[in-house]
A and B are shown apart, each in its own frame.
Chain A
Amino acid sequence: MAPPVSNMTDATQTGPVLSADGTPLKRSLQKALFRQKMRALALIAPLLIFVLVTFILPIGDMLFRSVENQIVSATIPRTVVALETWDADSGESPGEEVYAAFYWDMAEAVEAKTHTRLGGRLNYEMTGLSSLFRKTGRGVSDIGEFYMDQLADLNDEWEEGAFLADALGAESWVSAATDAAANDVTAPAFVLRDGVADALPLTAHIYSRFAAQTLAEKDSPLEEDPWEAVYTALYQDLISNPNAASAVSPAAANLFTDAAAAVPNFENIGFKEQFIDIDKDWDDPEAWQTIQAYSSAYTAGYFLAAMDLMNTPDGIARVDEDERIYIRLFGRTIFMSLLITGTCILLGYPIAYLLSNLKVRHANLLMILVLLPFWTSLLVRTSAWKVLLQQQGVINDLLVWVGLVADDSRLQLINNQLGTVIAMTHILLPFMILPLFSVMKTIPPSYVRAAKSLGATNWTAFWRVYFPQSVPGIGAGSILVFILAIGYYITPELVGGTSGVFISNRIAYHISTSLNWGLAAALGAMLLVLVLALYWIYDKMVGIDNVKLG
Chain B
Amino acid sequence: MKLVKTLIGATSALALSASALTAQDMTIVSWGGAYSASQQNAYHDPYMAANPDITIINDESSPEAVAKLRAMNEAGNITWDLVDVEAADAIRLCDEGLAMEVDHDDVLAAAPDGTSASDDFGDMIISDCFIPQIVFSTTFGYRTDQVPAGVEPPTGACDVFDLETYPGKRGLNKNPIANLEWALLCDGVAYEDVYDVLETEEGQDRAFAKLDTIKDEVIWWSASAEPIQWLADGEVFMASAYNGRLFAAIVEQNQPIGMAWDWQMFDLDGWVIPAGLPEDRLARVMDYLFFATDTQRLADQAKYISYGPARTSSAPLVSTHAELGIEMAPHMPTDPNNAENTFVNNYNWWADYRDDLDAKFQAWLAQ
Contact = CB atoms under 8 A, between A and B. Distances in A.
Interface string B38-80: 0000000000000000000000000110110010000000000
Contacts of B222: 493-494
B356 interface: yes
Contacts of A119: 95
A127 B351 CA distance: 9
Interface in B338-367: 348-349, 351-356, 358-360, 362-366
Contact of B234 (A120, A392, A506): A392
Interface string A506-529: 111101111111001100100100
A516 to B, nearest CB: 7
Nearest to B171: A415
Given A124-B355, A391-B235, A498-B174, A130 B366 contact: no
Interface residues of B, number: 45
Contacts of B324: none
B66 A114 contact: no
B355 A123 contact: yes
B95 A116 contact: yes
Which of B1, B2, B222, B354 has the most chain A CB within a 10 Å cutoff?
A: B2
Interface stretch (A181-189, A319-327, A350-358, A455-463): A319-327
A498 B358 CA distance: 14
B92 A120 contact: yes
B364 A117 contact: no
A54 B8 contact: yes
A520 B3 contact: yes
B356 to A, nearest CB: 4
Contacts, number: 122
A478 B221 CA distance: 32
B66 A134 contact: no
A134 B95 CA distance: 8
Q: Which of A390, A498, A509, A527 has the most CB of B within 10 A?
A: A498
Interface string A522-548: 001001000000000000000000000
B96 interface: yes
Contact of A494 (B66, B223, B365): B223
A183 B95 CA distance: 37
Interface string A487-511: 1010001100111000010111101
Contacts of B365: 498
B150 to A, nearest CB: 19
Nearest to B70: A515
A59 interface: yes
B151 interface: no
Most chain A Cβ neighbours within 10 Å, of B354, B355, B364: B355
B6 A131 contact: no
B219 interface: yes
Contacts of B349: 131
Given A54-B8, A116-B97, A390-B235, A487 B3 contact: no
Contacts of A443: none
A58 B364 CA distance: 34
A58 B8 contact: yes
A504 B2 CA distance: 7
Nearest to B365: A498
A489 B1 CA distance: 10
A116 B362 contact: no
Given A54-B8, A62-B7, A116-B94, A511 B2 contact: yes
Contacts of B220: 415, 497-498
Contact of B4 (A55, A415, A508, A512): A55
B363 A325 contact: yes
A210 to B, nearest CB: 18
A113 interface: yes
Contacts of A514: 354-355, 358
A62 B3 contact: yes
Contacts of B7: 58, 62
Contacts of A113: 97, 101
Interface string B216-233: 000110110000001001
Contacts of A527: 1
Interface string B146-179: 0000000000000000000000010000100000
A513 B66 contact: yes
Contacts of A54: 8, 11
B163 to A, nearest CB: 15
Nearest to A113: B97
Contact of A487 (B1, B8, B70, B360): B1
A261 B234 CA distance: 82
B300 to A, nearest CB: 31
A493 B7 CA distance: 20
Nearest to B218: A498
A328 interface: yes
A524 B92 contact: no
Nearest to B230: A390
Contacts of B363: 321-325, 328
Given A390-B233, A515-B92, A516-B355, A498 B366 contact: yes
A16 interface: no
B2 A507 contact: yes
Q: Which of A62, A123, A516 has the most CB of B within 10 A?
A: A123
A329 interface: yes
A128 interface: yes
B96 to A, nearest CB: 5
Contact of A117 (B95, B355, B362): B95
Contacts of A521: 3
Contacts of B366: 325, 328-329, 498-499
Interface in B185-213: none
B6 to A, nearest CB: 5
Given A54-B11, A116-B94, A506-B362, 4 more contacts: A116-B96, A130-B351, A498-B220, A509-B358
Interface of A: 54-55, 58-59, 62, 113-114, 116-117, 119-120, 123-124, 127-131, 134, 319, 321-325, 328-329, 390-393, 415, 487, 489, 493-494, 497-499, 504, 506-509, 511-517, 520-521, 524, 527
Interface of B: 1-4, 6-8, 11, 63-64, 66-67, 70, 92, 94-97, 101, 169, 174, 219-220, 222-223, 230, 233-235, 348-349, 351-356, 358-360, 362-366
25 contacts: A55-B4, A116-B97, A117-B96, A127-B355, A130-B352, A134-B95, A134-B348, A321-B363, A322-B360, A329-B366, A390-B233, A390-B235, A415-B219, A493-B222, A504-B1, A508-B2, A509-B358, A511-B67, A512-B6, A514-B354, A515-B92, A515-B96, A516-B355, A524-B2, A527-B1
